[in-house]
Chain A
């Protein structure tokens, strides 16, 4: 589903985000990406979502070579990649419903289909009763669940999460991780960047560890 072939990313400032990473993620796999801050976790995810372009190497996502993807096609690529952020990135002047509906509106979906899908997505993250609330009225964990609902409402084959539990207490973090485990069971390919080793080590999933832009350890290869 996702394939990195000797990928490097150097920023204009000279800082190296990634320095030659090769990686393959199978469809439906759930992979944790860990490492210290600055190790390249976020860069890895941004390259998959085309928030940034690689300076060297090839990246394939869902059968497409991202190097060959024109700027014009980036929006269509992003519709196949759901993204979740530590700071949620919600629109605070829109209701929970409107926030979750955004990817469908952007894709030009019909009104009734939007209603149905948003309800289903909110149901999955246990927020059905909060449709009409503004994000500001929700707790941090709830806001994160709105962000997750928005990422999965268009049923993308790939889901990326950058420190999704960064600001949450251990119990809420567990809940969020359980959600991701559920999605992975229905075939969604998921990459989660986190430094919460303690939490993920108990889940028994593949862990990719980065250090200074290089692949330091990949539990998937070790097995």
Chain B
């Protein structure tokens, strides 16, 4: 009877968008409900994820703080400009003003030839030798502190080169060595943090994947029956994916809690240490971007982990 019509039109599919949304909402709530029903087990899994996420976030925060610290270091990358010998004090002051007006300069301080001589006399112990000279051999110096936007080694270098162009300036000396070193150290640490973040993300993936795998095993009978009565793979997958999502989100929240708590614990000793260096330095909190990254990244990792488990194990379960 059916031979005359072997290609029947496709199956009728129920695709009301509102009902689909409702179904997703029910799935999400049900998945959360399943996690809440085993609070201890859920908390343990979420905590492992939380710690894995907190480590790179915390280290990232540390590096961020080191960076602000180096940026704020007063005179850290100061530039000394030795003015030409034939300039008098009025001309030297004019040069200082011109340089101080530059946007990439925060402050320019003039040390006149007399001031330089006085200071040299006091510090060097060559006072008598200097007396033998009939004129002051020292040039006037302008000490330049780059503005906040120009504190990096490269920017300071650029500024120094620009200043070299002034006719009144004989010589420009920059002490960038330690700024460069610190920057190199920060870069190295940063790379390390990214590496660590990558590894720990993989760990989160595996933790969630394994948790969902066990859950799939526990519910194997149910999955078989659902397949028997015509449940699509997407229908069967959905609750597990939502569980992965919740694990990720809970883990992310725990991670933020851990980082914030750790920061609070560090704040007092850091302030004491900074106080010893006459600095008002305080640890910065996680930026809004970093918080958002953890809150989005955690659930995404959870979802991906669940997907891995589901893709591997769900197709193996077939009703007999």
Do they bind each other? yes
A interface residue numbers (CB < 8 A to B)? 1, 3, 24, 26-27, 46, 49, 51, 60, 62-65, 68, 73, 75-80, 83, 89-91, 102-103, 106-110, 150, 154
Q: B320 contacts which of A3, A51, A80 (Cβ < 8 Å)?
A: A51
Q: A65-B6, A108-B19, A109-B14 are in contact. Are A3 and B1 (CB under 8 A)?
A: yes
Q: Is the CB of B319 within 8 A of A51?
A: yes
Chain B contact residues, majority secondary structure: loop
Given A27-B1, A108-B23, 19 more pairs with CB closer than 8 A:
A49-B228, A51-B319, A64-B8, A73-B10, A75-B232, A76-B13, A78-B228, A83-B228, A89-B228, A89-B319, A90-B225, A91-B221, A102-B226, A106-B229, A106-B231, A107-B230, A109-B14, A154-B229, A154-B230
B21 to chain A, nearest CB (A): 11
Would A76 and B230 count as touching, CB distance under 8 A? yes
Name 6 A/B residue pairs within 8 A (Cβ), A-sorted.
A51-B228, A51-B320, A60-B3, A78-B230, A91-B221, A106-B235
Partner of B226, one of A76, A106, A108: A106
Query: Is the pair A103, B5 in contact by a Cβ cutoff of 8 Å?
Result: no
> Please, which residues of chain B bring their CB within 8 A of the CB of A79?
11, 229-230
Does B64 belong to the interface (CB within 8 Å)? no
Contact A51 B318 (CB under 8 A): yes
Can you name the residue of chain B whose Cβ is closest to the Cβ of A82?
B229
A90 to B225, CA, bound (A): 8
B227 proximal to A (CB < 8 A): yes
Which of B's residues lie within 8 Å of A, judged by CB? 1-3, 5-8, 10-11, 13-16, 19-20, 23, 221-222, 224-233, 235, 318-320
Enumerate chain B residues within 8 angstroms of A103, measured Cβ to Cβ.
229-230
Pairwise interchain contact B225-A102, C-beta atoms closer than 8 A: yes
Contact (A24, B11) CB under 8 Å given A91-B225, A103-B230: no
Interface centre among B2, B5, B221, B222 (most CB of A within 10 A): B2
Q: Is A89 within 8 A of B225, CB to CB? A: yes
* Residues A60 and B2 in contact in the complex (CB < 8 Å), given A78-B230, A79-B229: yes
> Which residues of chain A are within 8 angstroms of B13 by Cβ–Cβ distance?
76
Give bound CA distance, A65 to B225, whole Å: 24
Q: A26-B1, A51-B319, A65-B6 given as contacts; is B226 within 8 A of A110 (CB)? A: no
Complex CA gap A59/B55 in Å reads 59
- Asked if A150 meets B3 with Cβ closer than 8 Å, knowing A73-B11, A91-B221, the reply is no
Residue from B10, B15, B16, B230 within 8 A of A106 (CB atoms): B230
- Give complex CA distance A89, B225 in Å: 7
What residues on A are CB-neighbors of B232 within 8 Å? Answer: 75-76, 106
Q: Which residues of chain A are near B23, meaning CB under 8 Å? A: 108
| Cα separation A42 to B191 with both chains bound (whole Å) | 61
Is the CB–CB distance between A75 and B20 below 8 Å?
A: no
Give Cα A106–Cα B5 distance, bound, in whole angstroms.
28
Q: B225, A1: Cβ atoms under 8 Å?
A: no
Q: B12 — nearest CB in chain A belongs to which residue?
A: A76
Closest Cβ–Cβ distance, residue B305 to chain A (whole Å): 25
> Which residues from B are CB-within-8-Å of A150?
229
Closest A residue, CB atoms, query B229: A103
In this complex, which of B5, B23, B232 has the most chain A Cβ atoms within 10 angstroms of its Cβ? Answer: B232
Please, which residues of chain A bring their CB within 8 A of the CB of B7? 65
**Whole-angstrom distance from the CB of B30 to the nearest CB of chain A?**
11
Chain A residues near B3 (CB-CB < 8 A): 3, 60
Minimal beta-carbon separation of A37 from chain B (angstroms): 15
Report the separation of the CA atoms of residues A40 and B10 in the bound assembly, to the nearest whole angstrom.
Answer: 30
Partner pick for B14 among A24, A90, A107, CB 8 A cutoff: A107
A51 — which chain B residues lie within 8 A by C-beta?
A: 228, 318-320
Tell me which of A26, A63, A75, A110 contacts B5 (CB under 8 A). Answer: A63
Closest A-chain residue to B221, C-beta based?
Answer: A91
CA distance A63 to B320 in the complex (A): 24
Least CB distance from B318 to A in Å reads 7
Residues on the A chain within 8 Å of B6, using CB:
60, 63-65, 68
Q: Give chain B residues whose Cβ lies under 8 Å from the Cβ of A106.
A: 226, 229-232, 235
Are B2 and A3 in contact, with the CB atoms below 8 A?
A: yes
Chain B residues in 8 Å Cβ range of A107: 14, 230
**Cα A1 to Cα B1 with chains together (Å):** 7
Contacts of A78 in B (CB 8 A): 227-230
In the assembled complex, the Cα of A12 lies from the Cα of B20 at a distance in Å of 40
Q: Is the CB of B20 within 8 A of A108?
A: yes
Q: Which residues of A contact B318 (CB under 8 A)?
A: 51
In the assembled complex, the Cα of A22 lies from the Cα of B227 at a distance in Å of 28
By beta carbon, the residue of chain B nearest A109 is: B14
